[in-house]
Amino acid sequence: MKLSRGIREISKGRKGRKSFLFFMAAYFIFWIIFFWKKAGHGVWKQRAKGGMIHNTNGVYEMYVKRVLDFVLSVLAIVIFSPLIFVVAILVKVKLGSPIFFCQERPGRNKKIFRMIKFRTMTEERDEKGELLPDRDRLTGFGKLLRSTSLDELPELFNIARGDMSIVGPRPLLAEYLPLYSRKQARRHEVRPGLTGLAQISGRNGISWEEKLGLDVEYVDNVTFLGDLKIILDTVFVIWKRDGITSETSATMEKFKGSGGF
């Protein structure tokens, strides 16, 4: 009797675990379908549009990378949704509205998309109504968000949509497009990334020439192992909180062109 009762209890426990796993799987599939339908560019679109054709480096870049970006970004949104909610509340309390910083940035093939981040600066202005310099508007809370990269969390939605990738050159200002040399412009042959080779090599602590050179180096060497290494190194860089600011600015000085080819 005692043995049969114990088996029934174990059976109930297994059923409970199975029900929980089934629920979590259904929840995850729901979000996959939701973002699949909402994806502005789709998983398989944008092969060679916008007048710029990139010679891909193999099966991973052609077929696997975008699928991994989509699945992992949706999974990350589901897992980190409580953290995203908490950060949003803190931004509202510490900095006020708007919570998000949205800006048009050029993506793959220079196609403009709307990038979304958590706001890290105040809206303080001088007597002429112009925004104060970054160093005066960047608060301690904003510095914390940047140093931990928590301000980048909303970009997971850009990745799910197909605007960005988990790994790739960072999306820069649209006003820089005419300033790039022919070689530097090749950074737009791939989707911009949440992190990239330049970010693990100094972030804002290296020169523009070095940063853009690393972007092009990544474009020519897109591999699964390379992306995995960049992701792991990114965790280490965030932990160390290196390269958040440049030597002369609270953020990064504007790019003014390098005059190369």
Question: What backbone phi and psi angles, to 5 degrees, belong to 198?
Answer: -70, -30
- The phi-psi region of residue 190 (left if phi > 0; otherwise alpha if psi is between -120 and 50; otherwise beta) is beta
Whether the predicted pLDDT of 260 surpasses 90: no
Residue 246 lies in a domain: no
- Domain count for the chain, please give it: 1
29 assigned to some structural domain: no
Does the residue 6 lie in any domain?
Answer: no
In terms of Cβ atoms closer than 10 Å to its own Cβ (0-12, 13-18, 19+), residue 60 is middle
In a domain? residue 16 = no
- Domain with 91 in it: 37-240
pLDDT tens digits for 73-122? 999 999 999 999 999 999 999 998 899 999 999 999 999 999 999 999 98
Mean predicted confidence (pLDDT) in 3-32: 59
pTM of the model: 0.74
Mean pLDDT of all residues in 254-258: 82
Highest mean pLDDT among 50-64, 168-182, 198-212: 168-182
Query: Tokens 């890290």 map to which residue?
Result: 120
Q: Per mean pLDDT, which range of 133-137, 139-143, 191-195, 238-242 is the poorest? A: 238-242
pLDDT band at 257 (very low <50, low <70, confident <90, very high): confident
Residue 144 has pLDDT above 60, yes or no: yes
The verdict on residue 233 lying in a domain is yes
**pLDDT per position as a tens digit, 35-79:** 555 444 443 334 344 444 455 568 899 889 999 999 999 999 999
Strands 112-118 and 100-106: antiparallel
Residue 183: CB atoms within 10 Å: 13
Cα–Cα distances (Å) from 68 to 29, 64, 131, 171, 234, in that order, read 15, 6, 40, 20, 18
Any domain includes 15: no
Residue 261 contacts by C-beta under 8 Å, 6 or more apart in sequence? 181, 182, 183
State the amino acid at position 240 in one-letter form.
K
Q: Quick one: average pLDDT of 155-166?
A: 96
Q: Residue 46: inside a domain, yes or no?
A: yes
Across the range 120-133, mean pLDDT stands at 80
C-alpha dihedral over 15, 16, 21, 24, to 10 degrees?
140
